[in-house]
């Protein structure tokens, strides 16, 4: 789907409307299909959308700061930034399965955002030699797998993950807590330049937005939501890494952790996650690859006549229900499948990634080739 400037202008404007956050933007976009229709809608139509109500409808109707959106359009064109809208084909499909996906993503780079395997890595900004060495060993063993490595380009574990990905030939993307007109921390400029050649930088913040404290939890939801699994390497029991873990859990993502010494406060968070069965214990890359069923063997090419032969039982169950009942809302589909949230989300995502499902406004799912 090629985005015309008018659609992009209204999509950017939607992110600037007071009282309308990521969750409300998703609801509106699924109801109206495109941002332009949201601003053209009447008050009653807006108020009738679940979760919007009178106050948000008034904020949308009263919005007049379109020059700010036009200014962002100029920055995008001048800086060769790719703006990806929620309904675009290039939009990370994994984020469609989150409650609060960004309605616009700003991206510079060459990595495919919808590769089959994505691993996010988070951890302390002040790593120990142990954390550095273990992560380096794991990354070396992931070489050749094609896994996309995602992190936040921060000091410590984030930067090590990015550098090791580059060293071992893996694509890597940094998720930023500010606009693409700057880079934080500034010491990572050379690292970021390398990543643009073997991955990229992505954010949902417009130019001019600084890396303020409140932006990092918002950034972390993308780190968690864009991945299939999240690996924690050295973390205390509080902080940004644990925020990412909680978000990953809410998105039904797999969580892994590197165990540490019992008296090492930088491993308290990892050890606690493992103890409480909130994260799988990882001693090597093989633990991740085995659990995620990430092998180097290519998946069989599907043909419509043999579709069920290649699907897992959970995937087959979803496709069979859609074949029998036609298009279904995501909640009704999950109830009919009788699958747990994690299993259902994983199966649905796999089917969407294989282009076997079609997603319609309102979180309605149907087979890509009905009949």
| pLDDT of 327 | 84
Q: DSSP string spanning 193-251?
A: HHHHHSEEEEESSPTT----TTHHHHHHHHHHHT-SEEEEES--SSSHHHHHHHHHHHT
| pLDDT of 322 | 84
| pLDDT of 304 | 40
Q: Where are the CATH 3.40.50.450 domain residues in the chain? A: 109-292
| pLDDT of 30 | 87
CB contact at 8 A, 209 and 178 = yes
CB contact at 8 A, 295 and 263 = no
| pLDDT of 296 | 57
345: which 2 tokens?
Answer: 């989300």
Which architecture, in CATH terms, is 5-80?
Orthogonal Bundle (1.10)
Distance CA 327, CA 323 (A): 8
Q: Where are the CATH 1.10.10.10 domain residues in the chain? A: 304-367
CATH of 304-367 given 1.10.10.10, 2.60.40.10, 3.40.50.720, 1.10.3720.10? 1.10.10.10
| pLDDT of 52 | 95
3-state secondary structure of 141: helix
Give per-10-residue mean pLDDT for the chain (371 aa).
71 95 92 91 94 95 95 93 92 92 95 96 94 96 96 96 97 97 93 95 96 93 96 91 93 94 90 94 95 68 43 84 83 83 76 75 72 54
Distance CA 151, CA 184 (A): 13
CATH class of the domain comprising 109-292: alpha beta
| pLDDT of 168 | 97
Q: Where are the CATH 1.10.150.20 domain residues in the chain? A: 5-80
Which pTM was predicted? 0.81
């Amino acid at each position: 789907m090629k985005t015309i400037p008018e659609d992009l202008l209204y999509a950017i404007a939607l992110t600037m409307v007071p009282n309308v956050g990521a969750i409300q933007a998703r609801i509106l976009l699924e109801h109206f299909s495109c941002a332009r229709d949201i601003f053209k809608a009447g008050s009653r139509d807006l108020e009738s959308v679940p979760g919007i109500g009178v106050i948000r409808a008034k904020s949308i109707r009263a919005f007049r700061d379109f020059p700010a959106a036009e200014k962002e359009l100029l920055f995008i064109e001048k800086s060769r930034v790719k703006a990806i809208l929620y309904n675009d084909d290039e939009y990370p499909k994994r984020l469609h399965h989150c409650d609060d996906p960004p309605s616009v993503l700003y991206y510079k780079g060459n990595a495919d955002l919808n590769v089959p395997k994505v691993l996010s890595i988070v951890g302390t900004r002040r790593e120990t030699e142990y954390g550095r060495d273990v992560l380096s060993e794991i990354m070396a063993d992931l070489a050749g797998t094609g896994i996309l490595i995602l992190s936040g380009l921060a000091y410590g574990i984030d930067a090590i993950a990015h550098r090791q990905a580059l060293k071992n030939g893996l694509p890597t993307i940094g998720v930023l807590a500010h606009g693409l007109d700057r880079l934080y921390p500034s010491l990572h400029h050379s690292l970021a330049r390398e990543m643009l050649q073997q991955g990229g930088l992505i954010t949902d913040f417009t130019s001019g937005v600084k890396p303020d404290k409140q932006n990092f939890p918002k950034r972390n939801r993308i780190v968690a939501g864009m991945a299939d699994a999240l690996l924690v390497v050295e973390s205390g029991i509080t902080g940004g890494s644990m925020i990412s873990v909680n978000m990953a859990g809410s998105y039904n993502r797999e969580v892994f952790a590197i165990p540490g010494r019992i008296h090492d406060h930088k491993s308290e968070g990892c050890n606690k996650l493992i103890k409480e069965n909130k994260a799988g214990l990882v001693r090597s890359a093989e633990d991740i690859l085995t659990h995620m069923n990430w092998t180097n063997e290519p998946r069989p090419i599907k043909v419509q006549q043999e579709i069920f032969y290649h699907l897992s039982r959970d995937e087959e169950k979803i496709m069979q229900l859609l074949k029998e009942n036609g298009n279904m809302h995501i909640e009704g589909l999950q109830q009919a499948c009788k699958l747990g949230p994690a299993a259902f989300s994983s199966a649905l995502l796999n089917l969407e990634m294989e282009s076997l499902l079609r997603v319609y406004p309102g979180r309605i799912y149907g087979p890509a080739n009905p009949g």
